[in-house]
Amino acid sequence: MADLQEMLGHVIRRERQDHNLTMKELGEKSGLSEIYIGEIERGQKYPSAKVLESIALALELDIAELLELIAEAIRSEREPQMTTNAIGFVLPSTPSQPRRMVVKRIVNMLDEGEVESIANFSAFLLSKHQPPH
């Protein structure tokens, strides 16, 4: 199992690459050196909260989103991956993205009324699959 420093570095590297940024570009956007970015990505340096915030902003994320990505990476390493939930919905296969982020991106493509309809329908389906108490 990777340690927290390594997981943090892996997530930052993945997000940087997903944003098509080089280490130098991320360093410039975050006010950090390219060398320091590389050390963080390789799990050699443990960034402070302020540095994490600068990196998150440079990746166009808020700090909560970056921390959630890190938490998802930790969870996915500790828990077996489930691709089907109680109502049989299978998420698109995206190995580099946590499940919550995949769902969030799908939901963000919908109009507000569609989201409400899907949420109501999902709640109905889940209520039909509740185990007896």
Q: What is the pLDDT of residues 76-125, one digit of tens each?
A: 777 655 444 444 555 555 556 666 666 666 666 677 777 677 777 677 66
More confident residue, 106 or 57: 57
CA distance 106 to 77: 23
Is 58 in the same domain as 99? Answer: no
Among left, alpha and beta (phi > 0; psi -120 to 50; other), residue 83 is alpha
Is 67 in the same domain as 127? Answer: no
CA distance 11 to 66: 8
The answer to whether the CB of 46 falls within 8 A of the CB of 85 is: no
pTM, to two decimals: 0.61
How far the first Cα of the chain sits from its last, in Å, is: 37
The domain tally of the chain equals 2
Is 57 in the same domain as 103? Answer: no
Q: Which residue segment(s) compose the domain that 109 sits in? A: 83-133
